[in-house]
A and B are shown apart, each in its own frame.
Chain A
Amino acid sequence: MSLTPATWARAYRPLHPVSLAVQLLVLVLAEVALFASYGAHDARFHWATHFLVALAYTSVLLLVRLLITGAPGPRFLLLTLLGFHLFAMAPDLLFRGGVPHYRWMDLFLGHVAAHYLPGGDGSWLLIALLTTGAYVAALTLWLRARRAEALTGMPPGVGLTGTAVLRAQRDPRTTTLVNEEHGHGPPSALLLHGLGAAAAFWRPVAQCLAERGLGTLLPDLLGFGSSRRLGTHFHLDDQAAAVIRLLENHRPMVLVAHSYGAAVAVAVAAERPDLVGRLVLICPAAFADPDEARRRIGARSWIARKAMSGSPVAGLACGAMCLLRAPLTILAPRLASSFSPDVPAQVARDAVTYLWPAYRDALRSLLEDNPLGPWLADPPLPTTVVLAEEDRTVPADGLVALLGRRVKVVRLAGTHALPIEHPDHVSNAITAKGPEQCVPDTPPQ
């Protein structure tokens, strides 16, 4: 799903001023009626308790929803509060119908237990004001961020998740991709990472190349690594445009790309061949057809399968992960060191810190407008493809069938994570030299 005017119009619908005004009127009238019904038998404190509990629950729900989905909701914000209040006070309605209270009625937002909070309604008032204040603060930041994006001509980031929803994204038309340089002298190769990775993925290779006197440039693509706050569009042409802006400041370079990055590299080379010397594509994400792509990429993870099927569950799961980004960045390197000791800590962190829309749009680019097939069949520029013999995502044999005669092929032992597993062999392929060994100066962090 692309960001279109319909997308943000849908995201803005819950904030329509007329709708909010009508909802506010209905809410106030309904609450006055409920207050009066409690007041008729001297139980106003019950009204207060359950209203404040409902207000606190509603605020937390709306806040979590805003942070997970990247847009306010549900459709009727204020009526949601009324709904929660009616739910919270449902046992009192049952009481009027002849049913006394039971402990299990705490299922109704703690209907019984709520009265036993020390401080009573005063405490609930404080809690309700704090939670509502938190939601209002988040919504205010969200509104300011979307307005700032709109004023610069960017599509509003209504699909962004986690804390990204609270900050305006930077305009990639005026801001360069975050990148790091390795080696001495002007860079002669640009290394593009794949899906769920960032510049750190290439550091072992960049170090090998630096030892051979080759300077490299390692950018974080839009929505990944330190370029996470760049842009709200993450389709192939957006990524290519950002890379082209980076290349325009340099002389023509060797474009080295891994997996999904290969699709970006080819899009760049097709758009601006004058900026590209040649291409070296490591395990490029090229598939015989979209079904094969779905099957292979889907085998990588549950989230990938859901994202490709267009399921909103994937967005919710990724949104929840974005909310948990801080603990995940601590946990991921530890898990990686246990299960995949070869994976550097920063690569493990990058694998959990990308933006969900960037991941989703990248997958869709591979399925819907993947330029690798035609390019590899008949490349207009010198192209080397490095295959990994044990690659399950892009099997070597399947890939070979897609390659035209003009493509130079290098087959190496390893899996899809070839640049991490064998940086020296990959460096050999990039420099087009014979076998050489290089030892990293510092162990992976």
Chain B
Amino acid sequence: MWGRLPGAEPPLRWWLPTAVFVVAAVVLSLVIALVVRAPGPRDDPDPADQRDGLLLSGPRLPPQVAGVEFGGRTVVVLFERTPPAGPAFDRWRDAVSDDGVGLVIAVAGEKRTGLLAAATGIPRPVDGGPPVGYAVVDATRLVRYATLDPTYLINAFEVDVITGAVAGAGS
């Protein structure tokens, strides 16, 4: 009924997909385990909440918190454990505040830092110490973003995205 069937055999050896899969699975597992950075001591206990990029809708701060005035313009409150300095920080500060955004630096140990952290709801890191990250408060005094970010110096564009997205509020 049927004659010779040229090309009827599949072009791939049956064991090849399995072999490739095993190699790929090992490589991928190693990449995930060794190269993708595991959460550090200054990260959020829930990594999914760290720099999730999702805007918040509150709480609304009073016009003044620990001597810092809110309202009328967007304010970025940077939380640090030691006073930031150096050319990397200068570049970050310039990038963040170049479009009229107010920048408040809250260093661990200062009295106002605890009050600002409590008011903005910034999370506490895995190690239980003071936060390292930033909060963004819009012109209507709503806290729109609060995240831990120990590597904030290389992420100025992320702050720009958030401040840009909330810039229209109250203006």
Q: Identify the A interface with B (CB < 8 A).
A: 5, 8-9, 12, 15-17, 20, 35, 40-45, 47-48, 52, 91, 95-96, 98-103, 112, 115-116, 120-122, 125, 128-129, 132-133, 136-137, 139-140, 143-144, 146-147, 149-151, 153-156, 173, 233, 237-238, 241
Contact = CB atoms under 8 A, between A and B. Distances in A.
Contacts of A96: 157
27 contacts: A5-B6, A5-B8, A8-B7, A8-B8, A16-B11, A45-B37, A45-B47, A48-B31, A95-B161, A98-B160, A98-B161, A112-B54, A120-B48, A121-B36, A133-B25, A136-B18, A139-B17, A143-B12, A146-B9, A147-B9, A147-B10, A147-B14, A150-B5, A156-B9, A173-B1, A233-B2, A238-B1
Contacts of B14: 140, 143-144, 147
B155 interface: yes
Interface residues of B, number: 43
B36 A48 contact: yes
A156 B8 contact: yes
Contacts of A238: 1
B157 A99 contact: no
Contacts of B32: 48, 52, 121-122, 125
A137 B21 CA distance: 10
A129 B154 CA distance: 33
B57 interface: no
Interface string B148-171: 000100110110111011000000
A121 B47 CA distance: 10
Contacts of A115: 47-48, 52
A392 B47 CA distance: 66
Contacts of A136: 17-18, 21
A132 B36 CA distance: 21
Chain A interface, DSSP helix/strand/loop, else mixed: helix
A17 B17 CA distance: 11
B8 A149 contact: yes
B52 A112 contact: yes
Nearest to B12: A15
Given A12-B11, A125-B32, A150-B8, A41 B47 contact: no
A12 B53 CA distance: 44
A40 to B, nearest CB: 7
Contact of B54 (A102, A128, A137): A102
Interface in B1-41: 1-15, 17-18, 21, 25, 28-29, 31-32, 35-37
A41 B5 contact: no
A146 B5 CA distance: 12
Contacts of B37: 42, 44-45
Contact of B47 (A47, A91, A103, A120): A120
Which of A116, A173, A241 is packed against the most chain B CB atoms within 10 Å?
A116
Contact of A5 (B7, B35, B53): B7
B16 to A, nearest CB: 8
A418 to B, nearest CB: 32
B65 interface: no
Given A8-B8, A139-B17, A143-B14, 8 more contacts: A42-B155, A91-B53, A100-B165, A120-B48, A125-B32, A129-B29, A150-B9, A153-B5
A20 B14 CA distance: 15
B51 interface: yes
B104 interface: no
A339 B17 CA distance: 47
B95 interface: no
Contacts of A128: 28
Nearest to B6: A5
B23 to A, nearest CB: 11
The 4 closest A-B pairs by CB, nearest first: A101-B53, A150-B8, A115-B48, A143-B14
A21 B29 CA distance: 22
Nearest to A245: B1
Nearest to B46: A116
A120 B14 CA distance: 33
Nearest to A19: B11
B159 to A, nearest CB: 11
Given A100-B53, A115-B47, A9 B151 contact: no
